[in-house]
């Protein structure tokens, strides 16, 4: 260690540096912790079922008396409707729902008990379904069809039907393990096929029984009539889900959004709380930067005669500033290391609780990245301040008598 830093360190109080490191640590922890929690728990309040992205909305035309009375085409989307939608500025892309052009019967038999129901299938383009590695695919020759049903169906069964009919309640895990026997028959009854279905997911947003698009095309080609029906529902990828223009357009055109839960007050509240926590964290970090700058200023003011003597001996501005910069960097690095350790601890506390809700693994990375960027900003700002202070010590000396 050079004698200059030995000298300047003798004129520095360690408590001051520790105080700076501590306030910096608290600021970093609050900001990075909030970022981590937000990213990790995003799935909970984003109303995202991890299957369909939140940026997608599903729309259909309002069912009116006319459609009930037989004119089903009233609720279909024409090509003009779709291209008009496509031209809206908030629309990234539009996907059509394909319906099954055949009859579907599904049956379950478990432990001697059996259930059978008439069913229908719909599909959307695969690019709208986000189920990485969950077997959301179908190739010709495959005997198992992945199926996705709305969460609400399960709730209806569990809390409405099962109780009154004396049937057991079913969990999601249990259901995904049960094979469904699917019997599909063409409208005219001439052609049919049997397959096995497996429920691979439950959706909040898509109120339909969904199968992969490739299966739908295959089954329709096998069992359907060649007549292709216009879609009655569309899935839209929107650029800004909260945009008022969207709701104005939709209500103006008599369209309804399915499964719209974006107004959920709990999610909104959580977002507000996280926002407040992040702002407080940023405020504390800013304050700690400010406190450090003030205390460095004071310290250098106090050490002005020492700095003057060093400069008179021919020490360069850099040589004089270096020990201060080193103290700042050490304080910041210490605060950074502490905050990473604290983040790991924090995460181990809540990760168990969030496990079942589908915790994302990105939180820690983003938190550490945020902390690193903040720490670098703190170091940079303070080093600039120190260098300016040393330079100003020189300038003042030149002008004052």
Among residues 10 and 132, whose Cβ is nearest to other proteins? 10
According to the binding rule CB under 8 A, does residue 69 interact with other proteins? no
Restricting to residues 293-332, which ones interact with other proteins according to CB under 8 A? 306, 308-317, 319
Among residues 302 and 309, whose Cβ is nearest to other proteins? 309
Helix (H) or strand (E) holding 200: strand 192-203
DSSP string of 105-117, one letter each residue: EEEEEETTEEEEE
Restricting to residues 169-228, which ones interact with other proteins according to CB under 8 A? none
| Closest distance to other proteins from the beta carbon of 302 (Å) | 13
According to the binding rule CB under 8 A, does residue 7 interact with other proteins? yes
Helix (H) or strand (E) holding 92: strand 91-96
Nearest to 106 by CA among 199, 202, 241, 230: 199
Q: What is the DSSP letter of 260?
A: -
Among residues 15 and 398, whose Cβ is nearest to other proteins? 398
Restricting to residues 337-396, which ones interact with other proteins according to CB under 8 A? 391, 394
Sole binder of other proteins in the list 15, 118, 244, 398 (CB under 8 A): 398
| Closest distance to other proteins from the beta carbon of 317 (Å) | 7
Interatomic CA distance for residues 223 and 185, integer angstroms: 7
Report the sign of the C-alpha dihedral through residues 77, 78, 82, 87, in that order: negative
Q: With contact defined as beta carbons under 8 Å apart, do 203 and 47 qualify?
A: no
| Closest distance to other proteins from the beta carbon of 348 (Å) | 46
Among residues 267 and 306, whose Cβ is nearest to other proteins? 306
Among residues 171 and 316, whose Cβ is nearest to other proteins? 316
According to the binding rule CB under 8 A, does residue 1 interact with other proteins? no
Among residues 69 and 401, whose Cβ is nearest to other proteins? 401
User: Residue 249: is it exposed, middle or buried by C-beta count within 10 angstroms (0-12/13-18/19+)?
Assistant: middle
Interatomic CA distance for residues 206 and 51, integer angstroms: 10
According to the binding rule CB under 8 A, does residue 397 interact with other proteins? yes
| Closest distance to other proteins from the beta carbon of 297 (Å) | 21
Residue 193 structure tokens:
């096929």
**Residue indicated by tokens 């179908």:** 138
| Closest distance to other proteins from the beta carbon of 19 (Å) | 23
According to the binding rule CB under 8 A, does residue 15 interact with other proteins? no
Neighbours of 389 (CB within 10 A): 20
According to the binding rule CB under 8 A, does residue 277 interact with other proteins? no
Using CB under 8 A as the binding criterion, the count of chain residues that bind other proteins stands at 26
Helix (H) or strand (E) holding 85: helix 79-86
Neighbours of 328 (CB within 10 A): 25
According to the binding rule CB under 8 A, does residue 10 interact with other proteins? yes
Among residues 317 and 338, whose Cβ is nearest to other proteins? 317
Strand partners, 57: 236
Residue 251 C-alpha from the chain's centroid: 28
| Closest distance to other proteins from the beta carbon of 395 (Å) | 9
Among residues 65 and 400, whose Cβ is nearest to other proteins? 400
| Closest distance to other proteins from the beta carbon of 384 (Å) | 17
Dihedrals phi, psi of 358, to nearest 5 degrees:
80, 70
Q: With contact defined as beta carbons under 8 Å apart, do 363 and 40 qualify?
A: yes
Among residues 69 and 313, whose Cβ is nearest to other proteins? 313
Q: Which residues here bind other proteins, judged by CB under 8 A?
A: 2-4, 6-7, 10-11, 306, 308-317, 319, 391, 394, 397-401
């Amino acid at each position: 260690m050079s004698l200059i830093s030995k000298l300047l360190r003798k004129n520095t109080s360690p408590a001051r540096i520790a105080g700076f490191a501590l306030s910096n640590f608290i600021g970093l922890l609050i900001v990075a912790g909030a970022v981590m929690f937000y990213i990790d728990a995003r799935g909970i309040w984003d109303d995202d079922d991890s299957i369909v992205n939140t940026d997608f909305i599903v729309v259909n035309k309002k069912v009116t008396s006319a459609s009930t009375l037989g004119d089903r085409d009233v609720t279909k989307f024409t090509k003009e409707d779709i291209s008009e939608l496509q031209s809206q500025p908030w629309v990234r892309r539009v996907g059509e729902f394909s319906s099954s052009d055949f009859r579907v019967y599904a049956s379950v038999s478990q432990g001697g008990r059996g259930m059978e129901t008439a069913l229908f299938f719909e599909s959307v383009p695969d690019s709208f379904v986000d189920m990485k590695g969950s077997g959301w695919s179908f190739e010709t020759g495959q005997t198992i069809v992945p199926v996705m049903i709305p969460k609400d169906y399960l709730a209806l069964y569990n809390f409405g039907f099962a109780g009154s009919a004396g049937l057991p309640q079913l969990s999601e895990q249990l259901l995904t393990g049960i094979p469904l026997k699917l019997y599909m028959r063409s409208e005219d009854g001439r052609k049919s096929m049997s397959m096995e279905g497996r429920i691979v997911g439950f959706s909040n947003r898509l109120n339909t029984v969904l199968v992969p698009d490739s299966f739908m095309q295959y089954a329709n080609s096998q069992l359907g009539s060649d007549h292709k029906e216009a879609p009655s529902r569309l899935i839209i990828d929107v650029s800004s889900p909260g945009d008022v223009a969207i709701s104005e357009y939709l209500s103006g055109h008599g369209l309804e959004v399915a499964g719209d839960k974006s107004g959920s007050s709990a999610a909104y509240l959580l977002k507000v709380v996280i926002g407040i926590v992040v702002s407080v964290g940023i405020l504390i970090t800013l304050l700690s930067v400010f406190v450090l700058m003030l205390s460095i200023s004071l310290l250098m003011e106090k050490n002005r005669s020492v700095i003057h003597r060093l400069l008179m001996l021919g020490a360069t501005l850099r040589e004089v500033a270096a020990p201060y910069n080193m103290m700042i960097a050490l304080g910041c690095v210490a605060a950074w290391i502490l905050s990473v350790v604290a983040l790991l601890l924090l995460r181990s506390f809540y990760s168990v609780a969030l496990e079942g809700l589908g915790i994302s693994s990105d939180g820690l990375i983003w938190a550490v990245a945020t902390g690193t960027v903040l720490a670098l900003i703190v170091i940079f700002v303070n080093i600039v301040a120190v260098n300016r202070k040393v330079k100003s010590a020189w300038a003042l000396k030149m002008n004052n008598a």
